[in-house]
Copies of this chain bind each other. A is one copy, B any other.
Amino acid sequence: MQRYFIPKKAWYDDRIRITGDDVHHITRVMRFTVGEKIICNDENGVAAQCEILEIDKDFVVVAILHWLEENNELPIEVTIVHGIPKADKFEIVLQKGTELGAHKYIPFQSERSIVIWDKKKWAKKLQRFNKIVKEASEQSHRSYVPTISNPMSITELIEESSQYDLKIFAYEEEAKVNNYHTFGSILKQINSNQKLLVCIGPEGGFSEEEANILKVNDFHPIRLGPRILRTETAPLYALSAISYHFEEQ
A21 within 8 A of B: no
A248 within 8 A of B: yes
Q: A244 is contacted by which of B139, B184, B233 (Cβ under 8 Å)? A: B184
Q: In the assembly, what is the distance between CA of A140 and CA of B247, in Å?
A: 28
Stretch at the interface among A32-40, A124-132, A208-216, A223-231: A223-231
Q: Mark A59-80, 1 if CB is under 8 A from B, else 0.
A: 0000000000000100000000
The interface residues of chain B lying within 8 Å CB-to-CB of A182 are 247-249
A117 within 8 A of B: no
- Interface of chain A residues 189 through 229 with chain B (CB within 8 A): 223-229
- Interface of chain A residues 99 through 154 with chain B (CB within 8 A): 99-101, 139-142
Q: Would A236 and B240 count as touching, CB distance under 8 A?
A: yes
* Minimum C-beta distance from A135 to chain B (A): 11
The interface residues of chain B lying within 8 Å CB-to-CB of A19 are none
Q: Would B236 and A72 count as touching, CB distance under 8 A?
A: no
Number of copies: 2
The interface residues of chain B lying within 8 Å CB-to-CB of A244 are 183-184, 225, 237, 240-241, 244-245
The interface residues of chain B lying within 8 Å CB-to-CB of A227 are 72, 99-101, 140-142, 243
Q: In the assembly, what is the distance between CA of A140 and CA of B223, in Å?
A: 13
* Minimum C-beta distance from A90 to chain B (A): 15
A96 within 8 A of B: yes
Q: A100 is contacted by which of B96, B225, B243 (Cβ under 8 Å)? A: B225
Q: In the assembly, what is the distance between CA of A227 and CA of B95, in Å?
A: 13
The interface residues of chain B lying within 8 Å CB-to-CB of A96 are 230, 233, 236
Q: A241 is contacted by which of B72, B224, B248 (Cβ under 8 Å)? A: B248
8 nearest A-B residue pairs (beta carbon): A240-B240, A184-B249, A241-B244, A183-B248, A225-B243, A237-B240, A140-B227, A72-B226
Measuring CB to CB, which residues of chain A are less than 8 angstroms from any residue of chain B?
A: 72, 96, 99-101, 139-142, 182-184, 223-230, 233, 236-237, 240-241, 243-245, 247-249
Q: List 17 other contacts, CB 8 Å, given A100-B225, A225-B243, A226-B247.
A: A72-B226, A72-B227, A96-B230, A96-B233, A99-B233, A100-B233, A140-B228, A140-B230, A141-B228, A182-B249, A225-B244, A225-B247, A225-B248, A237-B240, A240-B240, A240-B244, A241-B243
